[in-house]
Every structure is written in C-alpha cells, then in structure tokens.
Amino acid sequence: AMNDYKQCILTSLEPADQPQELLDCGCDDGEWTLELAKQIGCVNLHGIEIVEKRRKLAIENGIRAQTGSLNESFPFDDAQFDVVHANQVIEHLADTDNFIKEIYRVLKPGGYAVICTENLASWHNIFALLWGWQPFSLANVCETKFQVGNPLAIHAGEPTFYPKSWQHLRVFAYRGLREIFTEHGFQVDTYIGSGYYPLPNFVSKWDPRHAAFLTLKVRKPR
C-alpha cells in the first residue's frame, strides 16, 4: 500500500513549465521531496522537519529545510508557495487547525496542497475495533512500546525506536478530513483511496472511503 499511496500523491501533482515554490511539511531526509520535484519539473524545494538529524540529511539533499514544529507557525511568508505537500504528517499533530491555517496562509491564491494520511475508516481499522483492539492507525501512541493494544500491528509490543513526535494523535476518516479543510477556506479538488487490506489495492478504487490511505488535494481560492 505504501507504493500505492505514493503514486496517488505523484499523480495529484501538476507538472509545471514555470518556476514553482514547493513546501514539504515533515520533509524527513528529503529523498521523497526530490521525487516530488521530478514530478512537478521546475521547482524550488523548501521543507520543515522537527527531527534535527533528518533535517540535516534533507539539507545535504538540496532541500532548504528549516527546523520547526508543524503545530506552530511556519517560518515562511504569506503566499510564498505554489504547492504544499504533507505525507503521513497530519496524524502526528496536536493542533490540526493551526496546521491547516498555516498551509492556507503560505499558499499563493490558486495554489494547492496534497495531503496523504491513514484512514480511520479503513476496514482493517474497523475490524480491529470490532475485536475490541486499538485501531491499527492509533496503536502508535506509547513512548516505550512501538505499538500497543493491537497484537497484529507491525512491531507490536517491541521497544519503540521512533522519536515521540512520530506518535499518532489524530486520525481522520474521509468526511472529517474533507470538512476540516473546507472549514478553513479550501476547495477540494480530488480525493483518492489506496490500499485495501487484506484485499488487492484495485478494490480501493471502488470503495475509496474504506481504503487504508487517503490522498486529498485541496486548493486555495484565487
């Protein structure tokens, strides 16, 4: 499913023949940011990354990466970017409203954002709840164990090797994700579902609201 949602992100990007300014929220080491650049074509790359070791790697990859928390104000000017990207980020944040307001602020009128996140309403999360377990998407909530409350989750019960900032705090279903962005002034262009555990990915095209991942493309009005 990981390759599938990444392909959904890439197909949501718009190739450009004029210079574009792109902000990657949670850019990590910058490797995926470079893939975004290949898809868009003509782009200047900026990033925000809270883990300093990863930010330094992003800088080595040519990303103008700044240290910062996405729960706080972004260190960029109003209407600076043509594109904002956030992959597997929104579920880690405590202040979702501020995050969305900041995306809106730094986007140029007519600019767009591509947001990809796990889907709370995916069937594998629903089945976990029916068994009385923690949903797969909300098992990563402990600072000493990697996953809790779900014996089928990857690395369940093992000592965590991630920083605390990588814990999942809020996970959205499609309707909630859509509404929180429109509440802050965005127009929804498209949404795509990807991954459909335990069935093949193509099933997600028939039932995207229960897919494992959601990719939402939203636009700031002109």
Does residue 163 surpass a pLDDT of 70?
Answer: yes
Return all residues near 202 (Cβ < 8 A) that are at least 6 apart: none
Does residue 121 surpass a pLDDT of 80?
Answer: yes
The yes or no reply on domain 2-119+172-219 and CATH 2.60.40.10 is: no
Q: Say if residues 215 and 192 touch (Cβ distance below 8 Å).
A: yes
Instruction: Summarize pLDDT for 15-64 with one digit per residue, the tens.
Output: 998 999 999 999 999 999 999 999 999 789 999 999 999 999 999 999 99
Given pLDDT bands bounded at 50, 70 and 90, which one contains residue 2? low
Q: Say if residues 66 and 48 touch (Cβ distance below 8 Å).
A: yes
Does residue 172 surpass a pLDDT of 90?
Answer: yes
161 is written with which tokens?
């090797």
Given pLDDT bands bounded at 50, 70 and 90, which one contains residue 164? confident
CATH 3.40.50.150 in the chain, residue ranges: 2-119+172-219
Does residue 1 surpass a pLDDT of 60?
Answer: no
Q: Please give the average per-residue pLDDT across 134-157, as a whole number.
A: 89
Beta bridge partners of 67: 49
Instruction: Summarize pLDDT for 190-216 with one digit per residue, the tens.
Output: 999 988 877 767 777 788 899 999 999
pLDDT of residue 108: 98
Strands (DSSP E) found in the chain: 16-25, 41-49, 64-67, 81-87, 107-118, 187-194, 213-219
Can you tell me the distance from the alpha carbon of 22 to that of 106, in angstroms, rounded to the nearest whole number? 10
